[in-house]
């Protein structure tokens, strides 16, 4: 497993590449929690760790990628972007689970917990992200 590295330019942030497997959600939660605490907005850690877990699980369930990249960026003083990048260009869509279904609620949960969410398509794949606002946590 690689170690987390601060980004060299642009907005403050941390990234880490992890295997595309369920066990990587733990490492992703630790990275998000550490970044938010470092930036003095640890009150967002509970929501942020839940969001990154769902994004990791979606990548595991819906792609055939061997690795994913976790991205945590401080976009502004009030906005943090948490994302998971993979090499699959299939666009994410919230599910429509029936009442008894145990699956299909991940992006619905991300949508509910975040200020906003979305994805960016790139030549190499996509980045699925969710943004949190520090002002909402106060």
Cα–Cα distance, 28 to 1 (Å, whole number): 12
Average pLDDT over residues 36-61: 96
Write the DSSP symbol of residue 42.
Answer: G
- pLDDT for 107: 87
pLDDT tens-place string over residues 68-125: 999 999 999 999 999 999 999 998 876 665 565 555 568 889 999 999 999 999 999 9
Q: Are 112 and 55 in contact (CB under 8 A)?
A: no
Q: Is the pLDDT of residue 138 over 80?
A: no
pLDDT tens-place string over residues 12-30: 899 999 999 999 999 999 9
- pLDDT for 2: 47
Beta strand pairing status for 13-19 and 116-122? unpaired
List of domains in the chain: 11-92+103-137 (3.30.565.10)
pLDDT tens-place string over residues 49-81: 999 999 999 999 999 999 999 999 999 999 999
């Amino acid at each position: 497993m690689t170690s987390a590295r601060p980004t060299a330019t642009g907005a403050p942030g941390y990234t880490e590449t992890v295997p595309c497997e369920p066990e990587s959600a733990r490492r992703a939660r630790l990275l998000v929690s550490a970044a938010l605490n470092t930036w003095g907005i640890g009150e967002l850690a509970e929501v942020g760790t839940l969001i990154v877990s769902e994004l990791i699980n979606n990548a595991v369930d819906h792609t055939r990628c061997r690795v994913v990249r976790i991205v945590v960026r401080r976009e502004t003083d009030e906005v943090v972007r948490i994302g998971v990048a993979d090499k699959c260009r299939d666009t994410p869509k919230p599910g429509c689970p029936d009442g008894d279904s145990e699956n299909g609620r991940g992006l619905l949960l991300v949508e509910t917990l975040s200020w906003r969410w979305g994805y960016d398509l790139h030549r190499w794949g996509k980045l699925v992200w969710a943004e949190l606002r520090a002002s909402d946590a106060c």
